[in-house]
Structure 1
Amino acid sequence: MPMDEHLPATTQEKLIFMKNSRANDISEKAQESRKRTKSFYLVLFFTVIPVWSAVPLSWAYVLYAFYSGSASRRDWRSTSLFAIAASEVIFSMYYFCMSRYIAGPTPMATNSVTELQAAYARVLRVGMGIDSDSEPFGEDNTTLDPMDPRAQDFRNCLRTWFDRAPWSSIRKENVYAWLYWSFFNDKSTTMEEIPKDRRILLDEIVDLLERRAGMQLPEGFNPEVRTLRLTVDPVTVAPRPFVWYIILSTINWILRWRLESKWHAHLGTFEGLDYILRVPQDWSPSTGPRPVVFLHGLGLGLLQYGHFVEAMLKAEPDRPFLVPLFPHTSQEIFHPRYLRPIGRHESAQVIGGLLKELGWIDGDEGEQEIKSGEERSDKPKSRTGVAMLSHSNGTFIHGWLLKAHPGMIARSCFVDPVVFCQWEGDLCYNFCYRKCTTGMELLIKYFVGMELGVAYYIQRHFCWSSNTLWYDEIPNAHDPDKATFIVGGKDDLVNGPRVRRYLQSHGIDRGLYYDPLGRHGQALLIDDPAFLEVLKWLHGPTTL
C-alpha cells in the first residue's frame, strides 16, 4: 500500500526521518570491499610463496629420493641435499604436532568478575563526558537516543567484534555469546546452558549496553553474523621451514655478540628472563642520567630491533640501557620459554625484581622510604625509577608494570601503542581476522601473526581487560616531560585517529606526537621524524 495514502502525515514524516537517519547511521554501513594491491602480489610471489614452498618441496624430494633410490647415493651433494630435505620433513611433523597442541583450550586464567565489571563500566563511560568512577553510566537510567552521535559511534565500534556486520543484523544471543567469552574466556552453546549466576550478570551488562547503544537488541541468534572470540576461536598458524628458524637464530646470535663487542653490553638472565644490559663505567646512580628500559614488540627479535637499539646506545653513550628479551614474541623456537609467554603478574614480579637487583628502584613500588631525621644521611642517594620506552606489543608489558608498580617508572614513552582503546577490537580484528590486501598486511600476517609462538601468545593468552591501559593509570600523563605518546594515523594494526582522540579527550595533547601518515613501526627507522621524537624524549630531562 502506498505510504502517503494510508498513514497520517506525522507518522509518514517520522518513517521518512527514520529511514534517512538509518541511511546515515555509520553503524549500518556495509564494510567496504578492499581490492588487493600490487604490493600484495609482489610480497606473495617473491616472499611468502618461496618461504612456504620449502616444506612441500622437501617432502617431494624425500619421497622422490626413496622412490628412485637416490637416497642411498654416496656423493656428498646428494647426501647433503637429502639430509637438508629430511630435516625439513621431520621438523614439519614436529611443527604440525605443536600446532595441534596450541589449538587446545587456553591455559590463561580469567580476571575476577569484579575487575571485568569495572572495565566494562569504564568502557560505557568512554565518550560520554563521564570520567569519575563514582558516576557509572546507566545508574540514573540514562538511555541515549538512537541517533545520538555518541550512540552511533559506540555501535559502530562494537560491531567490530562481530566482523563489522551492520548493527541491525546483530541479535541479542550473538551479543551474549561475545560477552560470555569476554567475561569467562569460554564458549557458550545456548542461552539455556548459561549458569544462572552468570546469566544474571550478563543480563545486567546487556541492559547497560543497550542503553549506551541507544537501541534494544532484537531477540534470537543470527548464524550469519560471525562473533570474534579470540582465545577460543581456532588458532591460525602457517608452516615455515626449519631453515627459517636456523637463519633467524644465527642472525640474532650475531647481533647479541655485536652488542657485547661494540657497545660493551652484558647478556644476562634473571629468574628465567634474558636481557641485554649496558651500564657505562663512569655512570653514577645519584648524578648520572636516569636508566632507560626498552620493551620491544612482536616480530623477529634483534633482527628487527637491533638497529634501533644501537641507534639509542649511540645517541646516549652515558646512559644505562636495559632491553628484556621475550622469546615468545621473537620466534626463538629453541628457547625453553618459547611457548611459555610471560604474563601480567609474572612480568611485574620479574622485571620489577631485576630493576631492584640493579639498584634502579627501591622498594616494591619503586619509591624510597621516608626515613626519620635521625636515619637520614648526607650521602647522595640514588635517584630511583626508570625511563621506560615501549613499542607496539611492548606497550602491553609497559601497562602491566604501570598497574603493578607505578612508582618505579618515572618517565614513559609509548611508541605505536596498542594498549589504548582495546575494547574497540581493531587490534584483534586487524591482526588476526582481517583479509590481507596490501603487501605490508601480508608481511605482518604471515611472517609475524601466523608464526607458531606468536599465534599461541596472541590467540590463547590475550586478555583485553588486562591489556587495556587507561589514561589515569599513567602517572603524570599530562606532563609532556614525563609521558610521551607517538601515534601514526595510518597504523596498520590500530586505529590511530581514535587513539589520538581518546588521549586528547582526557587532556593529553602536548606530549602527543601524531603523524597523520605514520605507519606501524615507522618510528624504528632512524631517518624518520618519529624516531627523532624518540631521541627528543631520550634527551629530555634526566633528573625527573
Structure 2
Amino acid sequence: MLVGQSTLECALIKTIIYLFSYLGLICLLYFYLALSVGGVRAISHPVSILIECVGVIEILWYLLWFLPYKHRLQKQPAVFPPQLSRDHRRELFQRSLLITTDIELFARKWMCGAHMDDIRRENIKEWLLWALFNREGPPGDDNEELEEYMDEIEEKMGWEIKPGKGPAQSVRLNFDRIKVTHRSLLYYAFLGTTDFITSMILMISGFRFYSQPRSAFFKSFPFRFMTLLYTYKSASPDLSYFYRPHKSSKHRPIVFIHGVGIGLAPYIPALLKIPKDIGILAIEIMQVSSRITTPLPLAIDLIREIGDIVSQQNLDNFVFIGDSYGTFFTSLFLQSPFLASKTHSVMMIDPVSVLLHLPDVAFNFTRRKPVEPNELELYWAVQTEPGIAFTLGRRFCWRDHVVWREDLLSRSTTIIMGGDDCIVNAEAIASYITNGSLEWTWEDRESWKKSLREWKGEGLELVWLEGYDHGQGIMSPRMLPKIVGMIERYCEITNERRNSFEPDSKFGEGMSNREGLDI
C-alpha cells in the first residue's frame, strides 16, 4: 500500500524509514547526548542501559550480518531458464516491436534517459543480449542475428543509429548491481509479530496453514514457529500457503497470490470479506515478503510446485487472482496445460506483467530516484529490500512473466488498475487492454472512468480507478467492497449473465482522488 502526497504522510514514512534503518545510530546518539548532559549517572539509568543494549545489538547486527549478507547477494550470479530458439527470439522481438509506438522514447528510457546521441549500436546490442539471449556482451556468434534486429529497429525509427558504443548505460535487471538498504532487528521483530497475528486471524477465520517441512524452519527469518507446530504439510517444499476449504456448490474457489511487501497481512480485509463458503487458496511467496530466506526457484519449478498445491486441494474451475507481483504468475498459469485447464477466469489487480517489455517497471524499480512520499516508500520497502531486490535482480526472467493481450482473451479477465499508478505506464496498459494499441486520447481516459459502473464480468475488461496509486484500490475501505463484489461475480456458477453488475446501491458512485491510507 502506498502513502499519499500530504506533508503528514511524508513525515510518517520518513520517520518509519529512519527508525527501522538507523536504530543503532539513534541509540548511539542517545548515549552520547546522555553522557554529555547527565554524565555517568544518566547513562547508568535502567532506561538508558536498555537503550544502550539495543544500540549495541543493532550495531553488531549491521556489522556482522548485513554487510556480509549484502556482499554475498552481490556475488550470486543470475539464474536463467533455458535459452530460447532463434525463431522464438525473433517472435518475441517482433511482437514487442510491433506494439511499441515511440521507439526513440523506448530506447532512451531503457538507456536510463540518455540522449540519442549517446546511444550507439553496441549499446542497444548489449541490451538485446540481456533481453533475448540471457547473457552479457560482447556479441559473438549471435552478432548476425543482432544485426537483423538492429536493422528492424532503425527501420521503425526512420534513421540510422551511430556505430560503436556510446556513454549510455542500459537497464539490464539481472546483471546490474543490486542496491539494498539495511533493516534493523526491530523491523524484523515487527515483521514477525505481524506475521504471527496474520496467521492467527486467518486460522481463527477458517483457514488452514500448510507449512513447509520442519527442516525449513532455520531457512527463513524471522522464524515462523508454526513451521515446527504445523498440522498440515504443503505439497511444495518451497511454498507455504493458507487454505479455506471450498463448500459452495454455486461458486468457484479462488487461487490468490499476493504482491511484494510483507506477505498476506495487508490482504486480510479482502480475504475475510469474501463469503465463507467460497474456498480460498492463498499462496505465500516469502522471497518477496521482506524475509531473509532461500532463493526463489525458477519459474518452471515454481509453477510445477503450485500445480502440486492445487492438486493437493483438488481444486478445479477456479478464479485466479494476482495482485501486483502476483500478476507475474498469470502467464505461468495460462501457459501450464495443467493449470490452464483448471483456470476459469483471471483477475489482475495493479498488474505489472502487462507490457513488461516497456521500460517503466524495470526503470522505476531500479533507477528512479525517489522524490514523492509514495516513491520513497516504494524505494525503501520494496526496491531496496534485500530479498525482494535479489529476487527481481537475480531470479527473474521477464519473458517468463510477460502477459500479452492475446493470452487474456482465452477466458474472462478483468484488469483493475489505478489511474495514478507510479510503477507502470497506466495509460499505455489501459489502451492496450481496451483497443490493442498504446495510443490513447483524453476521450479514451474519460471512457475508462466509466468502466467501474459498466463492468459486466465478461470477456477482457478494464476497471480504471481514477485517482488511485499502485496498491491503493484493494486496500481502500471504499473501493474494497466493490472489488470483492467483482470477485464474487466471477465465482458465481450460473448460465444467466446480467447486463450490468451492481452488488450494492453504491457500486456505481464516483470516486474521489487518491485516498490517504495508513501503512
Please, what TM-score do these two structures have when normalized by structure 2?
A: 0.77
Note if contact 2:80-2:397 (Cα within 8 Å) is conserved in structure 1: no
Alignment of 1:58-69 (within 5 A): 58=27
- Are 1:506 and 2:472 matched, yes or no? no
Match in the other structure for 1:329? 288
SS in 2 for 1:215: coil
Match in the other structure for 1:142? none
Match in the other structure for 1:355? 310
Shift of 1:119: 1.4
Question: CA–CA distance in 2 between the matches of 1:238 and 1:305?
Answer: 25
Question: CA–CA distance in 1 between the matches of 2:493 and 2:255?
Answer: 16
Shift of 1:41: 5.5
SS in 1 for 2:470: coil
- 1:436-458 CA deviation, whole Å, 9 max, x = no partner? 11101101111221111111111
Match in the other structure for 2:381? 447
265-274 or 159-168, larger mean C-alpha shift: 159-168
Greater C-alpha radius of gyration = 1
Match in the other structure for 2:146? 202
Q: Which of 240, 243, 256 is matched with 1:277 structurally?
A: 243
Match in the other structure for 1:320? 279
User: What is the letter of the counterpart of residue 85 of structure 1?
Assistant: G
Alignment of 1:447-466 (within 5 A): 447-466=381-400
SS in 1 for 2:492: coil
Match in the other structure for 2:161? 217
Match in the other structure for 2:257? 295
- Are 1:438 and 2:372 matched, yes or no? yes
The alignment covers a number of residue pairs equal to: 439
- 1:108-142 CA deviation, whole Å, 9 max, x = no partner? 12442324333112112226xxxxxxxxxxxxxxx
Instruction: Indicate the RMSD between aligned Cα atoms, in angstroms.
Output: 3.0
Shift of 1:231: 1.4
Shift of 1:169: 3.6
- 1:386-426 CA deviation, whole Å, 9 max, x = no partner? 11111000000122121123212111101111111111110
Shift of 1:460: 1.6
Shift of 1:239: 0.7
Cα pair distance change 1:533/1:390, threshold 3 Å: same
- Are 1:174 and 2:123 matched, yes or no? yes
Question: CA–CA distance in 1 between the matches of 2:81 and 2:410?
Answer: 30
Question: CA–CA distance in 1 between the matches of 2:169 and 2:208?
Answer: 49
Question: CA–CA distance in 2 between the matches of 1:62 and 1:194?
Answer: 57
Structure 2 unmatched runs, 5+: 212-233, 438-457, 495-519
- 1:144-182 CA deviation, whole Å, 9 max, x = no partner? xxxxxx4xx122223210112333442112111211222
Question: CA–CA distance in 2 between the matches of 1:331 and 1:64?
Answer: 33
Question: CA–CA distance in 2 between the matches of 1:341 and 1:181?
Answer: 20
Cα pair distance change 1:55/1:339, threshold 3 Å: farther
Question: CA–CA distance in 2 between the matches of 1:106 and 1:61?
Answer: 41
Question: CA–CA distance in 1 between the matches of 2:407 and 2:374?
Answer: 33
Question: CA–CA distance in 1 between the matches of 2:96 and 2:197?
Answer: 45
- Are 1:524 and 2:474 matched, yes or no? yes
Alignment of 1:390-429 (within 5 A): 390-404=322-336, 405-429=339-363
Question: CA–CA distance in 2 between the matches of 1:75 and 1:49?
Answer: 25
- 1:370-391 CA deviation, whole Å, 9 max, x = no partner? xxxxxxxxxxxxxx32111110
User: What is the letter of the counterpart of residue 397 of structure 2?
Assistant: C
Match in the other structure for 1:468? 402
Structure 1 unmatched runs, 5+: 1-35, 128-149, 361-383
Note if contact 2:273-2:484 (Cα within 8 Å) is conserved in structure 1: no
Shift of 1:498: 0.2
- Are 1:96 and 2:67 matched, yes or no? yes
Note if contact 1:180-1:186 (Cα within 8 Å) is conserved in structure 2: yes
Question: CA–CA distance in 2 between the matches of 1:62 and 1:199?
Answer: 61
Cα pair distance change 1:252/1:473, threshold 3 Å: same
- 1:47-70 CA deviation, whole Å, 9 max, x = no partner? 32233221333566799999xx98
SS in 1 for 2:319: strand
User: What is the letter of the counterpart of residue 210 of structure 2?
Assistant: G
Question: CA–CA distance in 1 between the matches of 2:51 and 2:98?
Answer: 62
Note if contact 1:38-1:438 (Cα within 8 Å) is conserved in structure 2: no
Shift of 1:505: 2.5
Question: CA–CA distance in 1 between the matches of 2:130 and 2:121?
Answer: 14
Note if contact 1:255-1:302 (Cα within 8 Å) is conserved in structure 2: yes
Q: Which of 199, 208, 225 is matched with 1:266 structurally?
A: 208
Question: CA–CA distance in 2 between the matches of 1:41 and 1:536?
Answer: 33
- 1:516-543 CA deviation, whole Å, 9 max, x = no partner? 3231112222433465134223233522
Question: CA–CA distance in 2 between the matches of 1:410 and 1:510?
Answer: 13
User: What is the letter of the counterpart of residue 98 of structure 2?
Assistant: R
- 1:338-397 CA deviation, whole Å, 9 max, x = no partner? 23114311221111111112111xxxxxxxxxxxxxxxxxxxxxxx32111110000001
User: What is the letter of the counterpart of residue 95 of structure 1?
Assistant: F
Shift of 1:97: 1.0
- 1:84-118 CA deviation, whole Å, 9 max, x = no partner? 22321232120111111111243312442324333
- 1:13-66 CA deviation, whole Å, 9 max, x = no partner? xxxxxxxxxxxxxxxxxxxxxxx9957853564332233221333566799999
92-101 or 104-113, larger mean C-alpha shift: 104-113
SS in 2 for 1:182: helix
Shift of 1:82: 4.0
- Are 1:250 and 2:193 matched, yes or no? yes
SS in 2 for 1:240: coil
